[in-house]
């Protein structure tokens, strides 16, 4: 009995010893670990620190640049800075940064616009060529370059062209307000003699006013037009757009067109300076997309496209079309236009398109356009997907834009500069501005230009709207596949559409200023052109 009590007592002592050790260990752990944890937790919960968003970072940089007042040189359209390889997270998961922003391969095509050794300075002038341009900024630019070539063909002295002041935009700008006049004259000195105005003694001389035949070749100008010098000292071209053929012209004439368009016809110093400032402010947000959003009143009225508009808005643009005398087509079926891909994408459709391509919601987007029809009511869907939408009016102060605001062509020139310099350019409609920017970007090294297949897109978007197709991976993959070969890679300029005849045959050719290959681009290793590249 005594022995059992001793054994039980010894067991209890061991239990108590283990219990005391355990309690001591817990106390030790509590002292060294939990107090510091609690302190860290308290520090985090009480802290008011907040990581800045990308918008705030960009805004801070932009705000600091608003005080920028020093004189600066005009931007020369240069290569965008190299991008670092990194990953972005969007609604579609992790995306390769480079795939979103990397331009297509150039296939070693570079500008080659220098004249040949046999090219001679301008011969003795037979008379003076006056030019009245017509249309918007880019229509006028292309027309001026065509008239430079025409002046060379017919041995004329070119008088600085008169810009269109009677078009839809009612812009009072003169040539020197938009372009660097002295640079234009000097750059073309070895090609064509250019003067600022007619000699005084010829101010009242009889002149021939002629509307040159559209898409004409050398024979027309060397024959019918040059033959007019026998009777007149002055020939006035009533219109300038589309007066020269796109293809089948001598290489020297085609190269001259490129020199005129991409080298001689530089914007005025103040426009280029302001354009450079807008580019710098846009780049402070990171790589950016320039979106030519052609959802403006004049375009909707001209094209007859009313999808997405209210009934009152649709009636208004229809009335504008009917009352604009020089728009010949009055009756337009909007649904048919859209189904054929002839309508500009709506802001909502553009938002779906960008999301499908994989661009994250933090992507900076520059809206290169005039006033969007319907304003906020039509921009809400795009803004909800991509809140970092910028424009001239948001990037610059009222005072900075004041010299340009009353002039549509000068405001368009600012958009043109920011668009050419962008990391990615996307037009919602294939108008004059979109095509001019595309051509310039091709000339500068085939910068990434994504051309939406509007016919295919509206078919898919209508299915989403009807509920027969869900927005998601399936839709996104199809859109990516459709646009794999629509990103600005080198290709030969398109000829006439098969089966077309007469004027329509020349009209159906791709415009020269949209794609300067093969005439003004060649491969580094050889001046010969390999035409085996992809069709798109």
Q: How far apart are CA 453 and CA 278, in angstroms?
A: 29
Q: Judge whether 109 and 522 are in contact, CB under 8 Å.
A: yes
For residues 513-517, give the mean pLDDT: 96
CATH topology classification for 269-295+344-490? Rossmann fold (3.40.50)
Confidence of residue 103 (pLDDT cuts 50, 70, 90): very high
Specify the higher pLDDT residue, 86 or 310: 310
Confidence of residue 42 (pLDDT cuts 50, 70, 90): very low
Q: Count other C-beta atoms under 10 Å from residue 207's C-beta.
A: 16
Q: Judge whether 295 and 373 are in contact, CB under 8 Å.
A: yes
Residue-level pLDDT at 89 = 53
The backbone torsions φ and ψ at residue 292, rounded to the nearest 5 degrees and listed phi first, read -85, 95
For residues 438-462, give the mean pLDDT: 97
Q: How far apart are CA 25 and CA 30, in angstroms?
A: 9
Global model pTM greater than 0.85: no
DSSP 52: P
**How big is the CA angle at 385 (ends 288 and 395), to the nearest 5 degrees?**
40
Q: How far apart are CA 28 and CA 31, in angstroms?
A: 5
Q: Count other C-beta atoms under 10 Å from residue 199's C-beta.
A: 12
Least confident of 283-292, 353-362, 485-494, 527-536: 527-536
Buried b or exposed e, range 127-144, using 16+ CB within 10 angstroms: bbbbbbbbbbbbbbbbbb
Q: Assess whether pLDDT exceeds 50 at residue 160.
A: yes
Residue-level pLDDT at 309 = 92
The backbone torsions φ and ψ at residue 325, rounded to the nearest 5 degrees and listed phi first, read -60, -40
The backbone torsions φ and ψ at residue 357, rounded to the nearest 5 degrees and listed phi first, read -70, -15
What is the per-residue pLDDT across 459-475, written as a single tens digit (0 to 9) for each? 999 999 999 999 999 99
**In 234-296, which ranges are continuous DSSP H helix?**
251-259, 269-283
Least confident of 72-81, 83-92, 235-244, 286-295: 72-81
Residue-level pLDDT at 14 = 55
Q: How far apart are CA 398 and CA 368, in angstroms?
A: 17
Buried b or exposed e, range 303-331, using 16+ CB within 10 angstroms: bbbbbbbeeebbebbbebbeeeeeeeeee
| CA atoms lying within 13 Å on the CB side of residue 205 | 17
Confidence of residue 21 (pLDDT cuts 50, 70, 90): very low
Q: How far apart are CA 213 and CA 397, in angstroms?
A: 45
Residue-level pLDDT at 52 = 33
Tokens of 308: 């997405």
**How big is the CA angle at 347 (ends 345 and 349), to the nearest 5 degrees?**
55
What is the per-residue pLDDT across 316-369, written as a single tens digit (0 to 9) for each? 999 999 998 888 899 999 999 999 999 999 999 999 999 999 999 999 999 998
Start-to-end Cα distance in the chain: 104
Q: How far apart are CA 292 and CA 433, in angstroms?
A: 8
Q: Assess whether pLDDT exceeds 70 at residue 47.
A: no
Q: What share of the chain has pLDDT > 70, as a percent?
A: 80
Q: Assess whether pLDDT exceeds 90 at residue 77.
A: no
């Amino acid at each position: 009995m005594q022995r059992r009590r001793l054994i039980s007592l010894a067991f209890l002592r061991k239990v108590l010893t283990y219990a005391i050790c355990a309690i001591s260990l817990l106390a030790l752990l509590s002292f060294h670990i939990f107090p510091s944890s609690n302190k860290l937790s308290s520090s985090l919960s009480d802290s008011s620190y907040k990581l800045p968003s990308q918008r705030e970072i960009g805004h801070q940089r932009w705000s600091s640049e608003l005080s920028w007042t020093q004189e600066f040189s005009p931007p020369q359209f240069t290569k965008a800075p190299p991008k670092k390889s990194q990953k972005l997270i969007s609604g579609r998961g992790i995306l390769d940064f480079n795939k979103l922003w990397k331009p297509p391969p150039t296939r070693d095509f570079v500008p080659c616009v220098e004249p040949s050794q046999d090219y001679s300075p301008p011969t003795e002038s037979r008379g003076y060529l006056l030019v009245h341009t017509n249309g918007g900024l880019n229509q006028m630019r292309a027309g001026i370059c065509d008239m430079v070539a025409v002046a060379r063909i017919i041995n004329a002295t070119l008088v600085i062209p008169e810009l269109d002041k009677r078009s839809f935009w009612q812009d009072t700008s003169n040539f020197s307000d938009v372009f660097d006049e002295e640079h234009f004259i000097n750059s073309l000195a070895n090609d064509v003699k250019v003067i600022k105005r007619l000699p005084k003694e010829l101010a009242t001389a009889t002149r021939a006013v002629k509307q040159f035949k559209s898409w004409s070749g050398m024979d027309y100008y060397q024959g019918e037009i040059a033959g007019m010098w026998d009777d007149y000292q002055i020939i006035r071209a009533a219109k300038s757009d589309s007066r020269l053929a796109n293809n089948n012209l001598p290489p020297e004439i085609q190269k001259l067109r490129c020199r005129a368009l991409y080298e001689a016809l530089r914007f005025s110093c103040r426009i280029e300076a302001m354009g450079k400032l807008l580019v710098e402010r846009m780049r402070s947000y990171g790589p950016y997309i320039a979106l030519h959003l052609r959802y403006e009143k004049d375009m909707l009225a001209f094209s007859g496209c009313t999808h997405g508009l209210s009934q009152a808005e649709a009636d208004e643009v229809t009335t504008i079309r009917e009352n604009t005398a020089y728009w010949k087509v009055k009756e337009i079926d909007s649904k048919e236009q859209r189904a054929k891909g002839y309508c500009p994408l709506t802001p909502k459709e553009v938002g779906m398109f960008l999301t499908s391509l994989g661009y994250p919601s933090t992507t900076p987007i520059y809206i290169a356009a005039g006033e969007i029809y319907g304003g906020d009511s039509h921009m809400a869907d795009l803004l909800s997907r991509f809140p970092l939408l910028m424009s001239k009016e948001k990037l610059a102060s009222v005072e900075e834009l004041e010299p340009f605001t009353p002039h549509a062509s000068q405001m368009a020139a600012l958009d043109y500069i920011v668009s050419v310099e962008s990391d990615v350019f996307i037009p919602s409609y294939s108008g004059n501005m979109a095509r001019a920017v595309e051509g310039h970007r091709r000339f500068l090294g085939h910068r990434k230009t994504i051309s939406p297949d509007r016919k295919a897109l509206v078919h898919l978007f209508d299915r989403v709207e009807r509920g027969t197709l869900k927005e998601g991976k399936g839709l996104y993959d199809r859109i990516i596949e459709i646009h794999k070969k629509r990103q600005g890679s080198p290709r030969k300029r398109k000829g006439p559409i098969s089966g077309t005849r007469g004027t329509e045959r020349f009209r159906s050719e791709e415009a020269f200023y949209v794609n300067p290959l093969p005439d003004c681009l060649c491969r580094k290793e050889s001046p010969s052109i390999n035409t085996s590249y992809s069709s798109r």
